[in-house]
């Protein structure tokens, strides 16, 4: 008996695909056989990733837009065939103590991490339901969707909300054979997190909580994405895949 990780013939959409985790996941899905549509605001970045995938013999195309423009996202997806796989990855953070959080900070974090993610999932799920062939929705969450941390009150709020949203959506879409799960990384070394680790005290504190003793890499995430996208996880829905190096084990 062998697990089936083959994604040949399936169409995947990845948001925030121009860099970091999104780029890694897009490349991994393509390597497993999927045709991947990369969605992001930066044309230069996603065109580069598309070119890389094509050069490696994969299938990919670009969708240039800002996912916070929910109506544009909806109209642009209406022009395309429904997707089999959706990796709802676009996200951001502005770490700050609550007393220093501004309304602009709140609107930015909640607007992208929650509002845009919810309505992007709604749009993609509608297409999956109408097509009637099932699918997999993977919401990129965080270990911070299961714990708390100083200077991350709004980020935690957005990711705890995504966890609840994903479980509810799994219940709603289960009868349509659409699976909904989350991936919950610890700190991954990406362009977004790089500035945090310029603070040696923060780096030391972080490594002290990761039981494996190192920061996560994008490579640590992509296997979970392929698993959740494929038939290898055909009985997995409403679940959170923790990739936190043991942070939440205590």
Instruction: Please write the tens of the pLDDT for every residue from 39-83.
Output: 999 999 999 999 999 999 999 999 999 999 999 999 999 999 999
The mean of the pLDDT values for the chain is 97
Specify the residue for token string 């999932």. 121
Beta strands 135-140 and 178-185 are parallel
Beta strands 11-15 and 35-40 are parallel
**Which of 155, 196, 204, 209 is the catalytic position?**
155
Residue 125 near residue 178, CB atoms below 8 Å: yes
Q: Which of 29, 20, 17 is nearest to 187 (CA)?
A: 20
Per-residue b or e along 163-185, where b marks 16 or more CB atoms closer than 10 Å to that residue's CB: bebbbebbeebeebebbbbbbbb
Q: Is 196 a catalytic residue?
A: no
Q: 3-class SS at 37?
A: strand
Predicted confidence (pLDDT) at residue 192 exceeds the cutoff of 80: no
Model confidence at 89, in pLDDT bands (50, 70, 90)?
A: very high
Q: What residue spans define the domains of the chain?
A: 11-242
Res 43: pLDDT: 92
Residue 34 backbone class (left: φ over 0; alpha: ψ -120 to 50; beta: rest): beta
Q: Would you identify the CATH topology of the domain 11-242?
A: Rossmann fold (3.40.50)
Model confidence at 104, in pLDDT bands (50, 70, 90)?
A: very high
What is the average per-residue pLDDT within 186-211?
91
Q: Is 159 a catalytic residue?
A: yes
What is the tens place of the pLDDT at every residue in 18-37? Answer: 999 999 999 999 999 999 99
Beta strand extents in the chain (DSSP E only) = 11-15, 35-40, 59-64, 85-88, 135-140, 178-185, 240-243
Residue 215 near residue 185, CB atoms below 8 Å: no
* Token pair of 2 as six digits: 């062998």
Residue 89 near residue 22, CB atoms below 8 Å: yes
Residues 85, 112: Cα–Cα separation, whole Å: 20
Model confidence at 1, in pLDDT bands (50, 70, 90)?
A: confident
Residue 181 near residue 170, CB atoms below 8 Å: yes
Predicted confidence (pLDDT) at residue 212 exceeds the cutoff of 90: yes
What is the tens place of the pLDDT at every residue in 106-119? Answer: 999 999 999 999 99
Res 137: pLDDT: 99
**Which of 159, 167, 196, 211 is the catalytic position?**
159
Q: Which of 84, 55, 240 is nearest to 159 (CA)?
A: 240
Q: Facing residues of 242 across strands?
A: 184
Predicted confidence (pLDDT) at residue 193 exceeds the cutoff of 90: no
Q: What share of the chain has pLDDT > 90, as a percent?
A: 95
């Amino acid at each position: 008996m062998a697990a089936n990780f083959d994604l040949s013939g399936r169409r995947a959409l990845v948001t925030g695909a121009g860099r970091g985790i999104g780029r890694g996941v897009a490349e991994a899905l393509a390597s497993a056989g999927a045709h991947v549509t990369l969605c992001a605001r930066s044309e230069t970045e996603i065109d580069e990733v598309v070119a890389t995938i094509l050069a490696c013999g994969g299938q990919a195309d670009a969708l240039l837009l800002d996912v916070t423009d929910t109506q544009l996202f909806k109209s642009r997806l209406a022009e395309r065939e429904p997707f089999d796989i959706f990796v709802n990855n676009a996200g951001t953070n502005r770490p700050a103590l609550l007393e220093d959080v501004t309304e602009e900070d709140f609107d930015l974090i909640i607007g992208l991490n929650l509002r845009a993610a919810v309505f992007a999932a709604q749009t993609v799920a509608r297409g999956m339901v109408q097509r009637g062939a099932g699918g997999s929705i993977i919401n990129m969450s965080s270990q911070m969707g299961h714990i708390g941390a100083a200077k991350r009150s709004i980020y935690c709020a957005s990711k705890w909300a995504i966890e609840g949203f994903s479980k509810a959506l799994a219940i709603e879409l289960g009868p349509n054979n659409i699976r909904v799960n989350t991936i919950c990384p610890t700190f991954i070394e990406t362009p977004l997190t790089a500035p945090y680790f310029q603070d040696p005290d923060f780096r030391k504190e972080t490594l002290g909580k990761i039981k494996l003793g190192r920061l996560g890499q994008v490579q640590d995430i992509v296997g979970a994405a392929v698993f959740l996208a494929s038939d290898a996880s055909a009985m997995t829905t409403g679940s959170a895949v923790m990739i936190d190096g043991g942070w939440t084990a205590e």
